[in-house]
Amino acid sequence: MAQLTFREAIARGIAQEMRRDESVVFLGEDIGAAGGVFKGTVGLLEEFGGVRVRDTPISEQAILGAAMGAAMTGLKPIAEIMFADFFAVCWDIVVNEIAKSRYMTNGQMTFPLVIRSGNGGGLRFGAQHSQSVENWAMMVPGLKVVVPSTPEDVIGLMAASIRDPDPVIFLEAKALYSTKTEVPDGEIVDSLGTAKVLRSGSNATLVALGAMVPKAMKAAEELAGQGIDCTVVDVRSLVPLDTQTLLREISATGRLFTIEENPRLCGWGGELSSIVSEEIFYDLDGPIVRITTPHIPLPAADALEDMAIPSVERIVSTVNKSMNS
Amino acid sequence: MTTTTPAVSPLDLDDKLALYRMQLALRLFEQRAYDMFLENLVKGTSHLSLGQEAIAAGVAAAMKPTDWTFATYRGHAHTLARGVPMTPVLAELLGRSNGLMAGKGGSMHLTSVEHGVMGSYAIIGAHLPIACGAAWSAQFRGTDQVAVCFFGDGSTNIGAFHEALNFAAIWKLPVVFVCENNLWMEYTRTTEVTAVENPAADRASAYGLESIMVDGNDADAVYEVAAAAIARARAGEGPSMIEAKTYRHGGHSRADPGKYRPDSEVAEWLAKDPIPRYHTRLLELGASEDQLVEIERDVVREVDLATEQAKAGGVPGEDLLMKDVWADGGSSWRN
Ligand SMILES: Cc1ncc(C[n+]2csc(CCOP(=O)(O)OP(=O)(O)O)c2C)c(N)n1
Ligand SMILES: [Mg+2]
């Protein structure tokens, strides 16, 4: 066991897989000598050298195009898009090229690649460096979407994503980069499409993702003090989605609260609500409630950003109000 | 950039007869595809290479079977030129189950990995960076494979073109970019919307590349510049960009009559049709008229057979609909 930060876990996860598989290569802006703008890739250039860890120009289309071309010809690239907002300048490569090409070619091509990116707010960077884009990625057929919430999950899900034969969008909550927890030594390999029940309660189920997971846990603690006993589920993987675990845990309490950092419209909680309504409607004891960032660009000022992104207080008060109405 | 051009093996008469056959095959295939479009057998859209055959054929003649082609929506010719049989290509245009991708891709996305045709891409410019990635993989694995990427004159004004050229140059990738300058981007003359006269060649120096221009209606000339560029890429000397001047005989797509082009321009280029030119050259080199007639008969038979077989293909079944989103062959996004 060692204490590890979320950002150190990224480098450890990548290194674990690069040691194991020679065909894993890594490219992106400032990832090599600089160790990443969030210091998430420190030490990789030193260990694996400049042929496998390559700094690129500021050319997001070239980065992802290169990853795609390399993946279709036998490599397993990891590409970094520094801030998830920047997906907008290379979204064609993600959505039209990487996501569609296996289907269009009738399975002639396979794209074992991972695109990792710093996602979401909390760092007061303003609207163009703070958006949570998990809902952009989730709506695209052909992409897997993974969002870890702990250092241990970063390593295990990174390994699972790299070993997966399909394209994976791996979103790292920037707000979590400095969190530190105990992580077991040795190889850690998790599996995609598995949600995790972090806490079991009997009154309500809070379903959260990424940076919202620790907030949901804190809120659950406070709610317990107010007599509301909550289950907390960390979704971890939007595609594939572990609906079995989610539906089971939602049925068990009869109440669903989604806690989402993405702006409200077409957030992942909307899809989950629809699945729940169609499949376990009669198990519900009250309305589904979505707690999300409002449908606005994120403001920069700390006071304003804190109002926008779901907070522990907002979760507690929303759940409390809904449970007592 | 100084380049030492490795020796290129010249084409002998047999090679040239094969090159003639290929150009003719592309021509007659495209004419058949057009006829079948008018008969409403080819659905959706199609973009023909009529008039531009010398480029696809000449470049392919300079490639090894292990090299990779990246084509555009105007990619029937580039696909066939790598040795993909006509029947699956035509059947794909018809949306039949014996199509190259069983009808799941269509005219604009022809792909045959076993022939090194690594996709046809219909978003302008996107495949230039993708070709860089394949070239990077060849470089990384130490194979001698080269990626060849075709695109049009209009595609030189999109960001991906510029990102890819810089990327290929700094990583010294074994990739050859081939701009088919047919003067038009859809319905607009490219020079009217481009800062330079020669959209690809004039930009090459910005990326440290040599400016290479070639008569795209002369298959031998295309072969020579392509073979030299491919040899440089194979030798680890990095990327090249070739601008091949040509003209499309028909419209941009579907049944477009191309009326926006002056008659005099069309007439001028019809006179430079690559296929009669090559025919004349072969006779000068000592081929007999009989030989050339026999080649033509043979190609006609091939196109007719492909037409029959494509039309006889089945309708793709529902089993294909949900297949191959993922590598496990399925499309499931939840448990
Ligand atoms: C990003 C993008 N913008 C616009 C189009 C529509 N479009 C398809 S072909 C074409 C013209 C391309 O011209 P050029 O590159 O010269 O190729 P050509 O068709 O002449 O072979 C356009 C504008 C597209 N497919 N992708
Ligand atoms: Mg053009």
Q: What's the pTM value of the predicted model, to 2 decimals?
A: 0.98
Q: Are B28 and B303 in contact (CB under 8 A)?
A: yes
Q: What ipTM, to 2 d.p.?
A: 0.97
Given pLDDT bands bounded at 50, 70 and 90, which one contains residue A242?
very high
Rounded average pLDDT over A24-52:
97
Residues of B in contact with A57 (CB under 8 A): 163, 166-167, 170
Element spanning A49, H or E: none
Is B285 a domain residue?
no
For position A47, what pLDDT does the model report? 98
- B222-232: pLDDT as tens digits: 999 999 999 99
Let me know whether A122 and A204 are in one domain. no
A52 φ/ψ sector (left φ>0, alpha ψ -120 to 50, else beta): alpha
Q: Which of A7, A12, A116, A129 is catalytic?
A: A129
Question: What pLDDT band is residue B234 in, cutting at 50, 70 and 90?
Answer: very high
Looking at the structure, do residues A172 and A114 belong to the same domain, yes or no?
A: yes
Query: Residue B4 has what pLDDT?
Result: 55
How many other C-beta atoms can be found within 10 angstroms of the C-beta atom of residue A179? 17
Same domain, A151 and A27: yes
Beta carbons of A106 and B325 less than 8 Å apart? no
- pLDDT confidence of B7, banded at 50, 70, 90? confident
Strand spans (E) along A129-184 = 144-146, 168-173, 180-183
A66 and A134: one domain?
Answer: yes
Which residues of chain A have a CB within 8 Å of the CB of B138?
73
- Domains in chain B, number: 1
Asked whether residue A66 carries a pLDDT value surpassing 60, the answer given is yes
Confirm whether B321 is domain-assigned. Answer: no
CB A263 within 8 A of CB A131: yes
Picking from B119, B145, B166, the nearest residue to A101 by CB comes out as B119
- Looking at the structure, tell me whether residues A315 and A168 fall in a common domain: no
Query: What pLDDT was estimated at residue B1?
Result: 44
Q: What's the domain range around B190?
A: 25-205+221-251+267-272
8-state DSSP, A176: G
pLDDT tens digits, one per residue of A245-283: 999 999 999 999 999 999 999 999 999 999 999 999 999
* A233 & A301 share domain: yes
What pLDDT is stored for residue B5 in this prediction?
60
B206 touches chain A (CB under 8 A): no
Assess A244–B contact: CB distance below 8 Å, yes or no.
Answer: yes
Domain end (from A155, A183, A211): A183
Establish if B7 belongs to a structural domain.
Answer: no
The pLDDT confidence band at residue B120, using thresholds 50, 70 and 90, is very high
Same domain, A312 and A239: yes
Q: Is the pLDDT of residue B317 over 90?
A: yes
Is B277 contained in some domain?
no
Long-range contacts of B284-288 (CB under 8 A, 24+ apart): B285/B13, B285/B16, B286/B13, B287/B13, B287/B16, B287/B17
Residue A122 belongs to domain with CATH number? 3.40.50.970
Within-domain flag for A325: no
Residue A188 lies in a domain: no
pLDDT band at B2 (very low <50, low <70, confident <90, very high): very low
DSSP structure class, residue B192: G
Q: How far apart are CA B212 and CA B222, in angstroms?
A: 11
- The whole-chain average pLDDT of chain A stands at 98
Ligand 1 atom with least separation from CA of A92: 1
CATH of the domain at A268: 3.40.50.920
Q: Are residues A96 and A225 in the same domain?
A: no
Asked if pLDDT for residue B35 goes beyond 50, the answer is: yes
Q: Is the pLDDT of residue B3 over 80?
A: no
Based on the domain organization, do A210 and A264 belong to the same domain? yes
Distance CA A274, CA A276 (A): 5
A165 and A21 housed in the same domain: yes
A295 is catalytic: no
- Asked if B172 is an interface residue toward chain A (Cβ–Cβ < 8 A), one would say no
Q: Does A138 fall in a domain?
A: yes
Q: Give the mean model confidence (pLDDT) for residues B87-97.
A: 98
The domain in which residue A128 lies consists of: 2-183
- Which residue is closest in CA terms to ligand 1's atom 2? B124
- Identify whether B291 is part of a domain: no
Last residue of a domain, one of A144, A160, A183: A183
Residue from B157, B177, B183, B186 to probe ligand 1 pocket by mutation (most atoms less than 8 Å from CB):
B186
Same domain, A241 and A146: no
The count of domains in chain A is 2
Measure in Å the smallest separation between the Cα of B175 and chain A Cα atoms: 12
CA-angle at A57, arms to A61 and A81, nearest 5°: 55
CA atoms of B53 and B225, how far apart (whole Å) = 16
Is B213 within a domain?
Answer: no
Give the end of a domain, one of A132, A153, A183: A183
Whether residues A69 and B160 touch (CB distance < 8 A) is answered with no
Q: Is residue B289 part of a domain?
A: no
Residues A287 and A311 in one domain: yes
Nearest-CA distance from B184 to chain A in Å? 24
* CATH number of the domain that residue B46 is part of: 3.40.50.970
- Does pLDDT of B32 surpass 90? yes
Does residue B319 fall inside a structural domain? no
- How would residue B255 be classed by pLDDT, with cut points 50, 70 and 90? confident
Q: What are the pLDDT digits (tens) for B275-288?
A: 999 999 999 999 99
Q: Domain for residue A191, yes or no?
A: no
Interface test mutation site (partner B, options A51, A73, A248, max chain B beta carbons within 10 A): A73
User: What is the average pLDDT across B119-128?
Assistant: 98
Q: What is the pLDDT of residues A181-221, one digit of tens each?
A: 999 999 999 999 999 999 999 999 999 999 999 999 999 99
